[in-house]
Structure 1
Amino acid sequence: MEGSVKKDEKTNKWFYVADVGKKPNGDRNQKKKRGFKTKKEAEKALNELLNQVHSGSYVEPSKMLYKDYLKQWLEDKQTKVRASTMLTYSWLVEDHIIPALGHVELAKLNPMLIQQTYTTLMKEGKLGSENIQKTHTLVNDSLNRAERWGLISKNPAALVERPRAEKKEIQIWDIKELNAFLWSARVSRYHIAFFIAAWTGMRQSEILGLRWKDIDFDNKTLRVVQTLRHNSTELVSTTKTKASNRNIALSDQTIEALQKHRRRQIKERLHAGEVYNNHDLVVCTAVGTPLNSRNLNRTFYDLIKKTKIRRISFHSLRHTHASLMLASGENVKIVSERLGHANIRITLDTYSHLLPNMQRDAAQNFDKLMLPGDELMEAVNQY
């Protein structure tokens, strides 16, 4: 199979011509793709197309369904994104994009069909606005590559406006609600998971991946280096972002709670005997295996119902931790580091609802630093 890249002198843009096999009558089957701004872009697209032809995965656009193309595109993505990101991609593609658009031939996709898909997803309410935005990103990215490969003449998703994401109001507990919940949860074998979430702001996946060797009892710190994949029992030695891999300082109460939990876990291990499968996990099942997040959430919601307080998500314990720290006057940068945010702007954007009150408190606190008017004038005169 051969191909070449040339420049169109009339449009001053580049194009490629490639042999992709034989037509049914035996003639050469050539594909031409125009409109590349640079020679490098045209060469990249040509190489991608020829690689597909050589590997035997090339299919004529008129015969290829979008679902078949998406499966190949998704498989190729595995080498370019993190495992946690890949789980989200697979879920959106397999559960939402393919059911809606998978039956359509790749070459027959159009902006109206794609827009209707987004509208339906919004009306059904099965996906939040942020995930509908991600759906658009995946559709657009997959069809961009299809265009580069010459499988379609133009990416129809590029003509569809990116869906708007509505910012959800953060739900948190106040001190009374948090204390009431933790008191009810004190007898639960998963009490330590709720305690860590409230006292450190760690994500659920980070808590379920936390090992005893990651905790430094002498220096009262823990290191976030491992997570548990959502709705699975697979441990991953990666965190959500680079900033998520972090050290978190622990309070005396947290150290005490961890030590108490460890003594309880040792008893469980001795009781289980040979069936105990030790993963060194702080939060685990009675036989030491990783705890599926669904089981933890089930316990969490049962305890909320028992306590008769407002229902919030487990993730809202993280928001509760951050909000209470900020409301108490803690430095935003410190809170951002504890949460493992990539930058302080994320923290400010997420908890901006607290800033007006904090600014008022700051203004009053500055008053306390300064002398009243008469005393200030006297000090100036003395100077």
Structure 2
Amino acid sequence: MAKILIGKYEGSIYKEGNGYTGALELGIGPNGKRNRLKRKGRTKTAVTDKLKKAVKDLEEGVKPDPHYYLRNAVTDFLTAFSKSGKAPNTIETYRSLIDNQIIPFIGGIRLEDLTADDVETWLNGRSEHLTTSSLGIAHSILKRSIRRAARRDKVGRNVAELVDTPEGKPGRPSRSLSLEQAKAVLAEAAKPTHRLGAYVILAIVSGLRTEELRTLRWSALDLDKATVYVLRADRHKGETKTRLSRRGLGVADMAVEALRAHRTRQAAEKLKAGEAYQDNDLVFCQEDGRPYAAHQVRRRFRHVLTAAGLNAAEWCPRELRHTFVSIMSDQGVPIEKISVLVGHRDTKTTETIYRHQLRPEIREGAEHMNVIFGSKADRSA
């Protein structure tokens, strides 16, 4: 048995089983019994290091729980975060990352035993599977979870903050349909066989966001004036993405035609459903009036693309907005005008993310779409 002194505490390290046990005398507790601090390890050095850490935690007021694991820390953080009034989509993103990227890989480590090397190894391993953005969010969740545990004296320091987030795998860059592809999709979407054909048409010729289209109400449409007023979005509290996202837009003739036909179809569905119809004034909704979820829109959107002869697996609905920006730019609309039409705060986002071609000349929005795809008068001629 080896006598030791760590800080002001005396103790000993002795052989026990296949390793060693270290014990420090902390004095007599309130119950009149000896109060001892014990740690176990394979070697004397490992035991000594654990005792030093335990003494440091003791002096700093930290009360580590040997049964508190990293999975407990991230779960507790998510529970608190879910009650903070944050956007449901953000909460679900966090939940998915915790359940699929954090807990299965490092959730079984006791929080007090977690090291910066553990975090670094985890991040490097996930960098091959997550984009840089998702990896950064996952790392942030870990840091915030441990920080919360530290505020409750469950751990002394936040080792996740000692590690830099590595680069993840490249995300798939968004693309836009070519003019010929867009024409093919518009022609297919105009067919009455596609229940969301009007959605696809309006998205291409107006550049509305998917979350704006899903919450678009008939009260925000004036088909006689060919105008749509963007007032809501499928986001937290129904707010649009930015203040400038609240805007009024002219609507191209082909979209007005499609929306009129869509309204007639919806009126028949409402009559057929009777009292079971949930009237939310939504332009795009299910047969019984319920809102569409994002995945339901994606599925119907892909039906249109497949019928138009495109590989639907390569595209997603938000790229219709990219298509609007690129076609407008290709046809000569200046970046400043496009930025206003799509509701961006400034031209930087439009220029660096959405625009795939550039020819800076001046034209207008809905009027120019009529020129590109043909107005009602042109198609009836």
| TM-score normalised by L of structure 2 | 0.70
The verdict on how the C-alpha distance between 1:353 and 1:271 changes in structure 2, with shifts beyond 3 A counting, is closer
The CA deviation string for residues 280-324 of structure 1, in whole angstroms up to 9 with x for no partner, is 111111111112322322222233223222432211111111111
CA distance in structure 2 between the aligned counterparts of 1:190 and 1:259, rounded to whole angstroms: 13
CA distance in structure 1 between the aligned counterparts of 2:70 and 2:148, rounded to whole angstroms: 13
Instruction: Give the structure 2 partner of residue 299 of structure 1.
Output: 300
Measured after TM superposition, the shift of residue 167 of structure 1 is 5.8
Identity %, equivalent residues: 26
CA distance in structure 2 between the aligned counterparts of 1:241 and 1:26, rounded to whole angstroms: 63
Q: Does 1:107 find its partner at 2:112?
A: yes
Instruction: Give the structure 2 partner of residue 68 of structure 1.
Output: 72
Q: Which 10-residue stretch deviates more, 183-192 or 94-103? A: 94-103
The CA deviation string for residues 106-157 of structure 1, in whole angstroms up to 9 with x for no partner, is 222222222332333333x3x4332122212222232333344443222222
When the two structures are aligned, how many residues end up with a matched partner?
Answer: 307
Q: Does 1:141 find its partner at 2:144?
A: yes
| Higher share in helix | 1
The verdict on how the C-alpha distance between 1:267 and 1:92 changes in structure 2, with shifts beyond 3 A counting, is same
Q: Which of residues 212, 216, 220 is equivalent to 1:210?
A: 216
**Gaps spanning 5+ residues in structure 2: where?**
1-28, 36-54, 363-381
Q: Secondary structure at the match of 1:63?
A: coil
The verdict on how the C-alpha distance between 1:244 and 1:138 changes in structure 2, with shifts beyond 3 A counting, is farther
The verdict on how the C-alpha distance between 1:72 and 1:209 changes in structure 2, with shifts beyond 3 A counting, is same
The verdict on how the C-alpha distance between 1:346 and 1:140 changes in structure 2, with shifts beyond 3 A counting, is farther
Instruction: Give the structure 2 partner of residue 156 of structure 1.
Output: 159
Instruction: Give the structure 1 partner of residue 336 of structure 2.
Output: 333
CA distance in structure 2 between the aligned counterparts of 1:87 and 1:348, rounded to whole angstroms: 30
Indicate if the aligned counterparts of 2:127 and 2:167 stay in contact, CA closer than 8 A: no
Instruction: Give the structure 1 partner of residue 177 of structure 2.
Output: 173
Instruction: Give the structure 1 partner of residue 52 of structure 2.
Output: none
**Consecutive aligned runs of 4 or more in structure 1 exceeding 4 Å deviation:** 22-27, 29-34
Letter in 1 for 2:221: I
Instruction: Give the structure 2 partner of residue 83 of structure 1.
Output: 88
Instruction: Give the structure 2 partner of residue 122 of structure 1.
Output: 127
Letter in 1 for 2:254: Q
Indicate if the aligned counterparts of 2:329 and 2:357 stay in contact, CA closer than 8 A: yes
Instruction: Give the structure 2 partner of residue 378 of structure 1.
Output: none
Indicate if the aligned counterparts of 2:326 and 2:356 stay in contact, CA closer than 8 A: no
CA distance in structure 2 between the aligned counterparts of 1:23 and 1:294, rounded to whole angstroms: 61
The verdict on how the C-alpha distance between 1:270 and 1:80 changes in structure 2, with shifts beyond 3 A counting, is closer
Q: Secondary structure at the match of 2:148?
A: helix
The verdict on how the C-alpha distance between 1:138 and 1:338 changes in structure 2, with shifts beyond 3 A counting, is farther
Q: Secondary structure at the match of 2:357?
A: helix
CA distance in structure 2 between the aligned counterparts of 1:292 and 1:80, rounded to whole angstroms: 21
The CA deviation string for residues 74-101 of structure 1, in whole angstroms up to 9 with x for no partner, is 2222316333322322222233222222
Indicate if the aligned counterparts of 1:170 and 1:319 stay in contact, CA closer than 8 A: yes
Q: Which 10-residue stretch deviates more, 64-73 or 143-152? A: 143-152
Indicate if the aligned counterparts of 2:74 and 2:141 stay in contact, CA closer than 8 A: no
Q: Secondary structure at the match of 1:354?
A: coil
Letter in 2 for 1:105: R
Instruction: Give the structure 2 partner of residue 92 of structure 1.
Output: 97
Instruction: Give the structure 2 partner of residue 200 of structure 1.
Output: 206
The verdict on how the C-alpha distance between 1:317 and 1:100 changes in structure 2, with shifts beyond 3 A counting, is same
Q: Secondary structure at the match of 2:121?
A: helix
The verdict on how the C-alpha distance between 1:216 and 1:302 changes in structure 2, with shifts beyond 3 A counting, is closer
Measured after TM superposition, the shift of residue 226 of structure 1 is 3.5
Indicate if the aligned counterparts of 1:84 and 1:240 stay in contact, CA closer than 8 A: no
Instruction: Give the structure 1 partner of residue 263 of structure 2.
Output: 262
Q: Secondary structure at the match of 2:99?
A: helix
Q: Does 1:344 find its partner at 2:347?
A: yes
The verdict on how the C-alpha distance between 1:221 and 1:84 changes in structure 2, with shifts beyond 3 A counting, is farther
CA distance in structure 2 between the aligned counterparts of 1:111 and 1:85, rounded to whole angstroms: 27
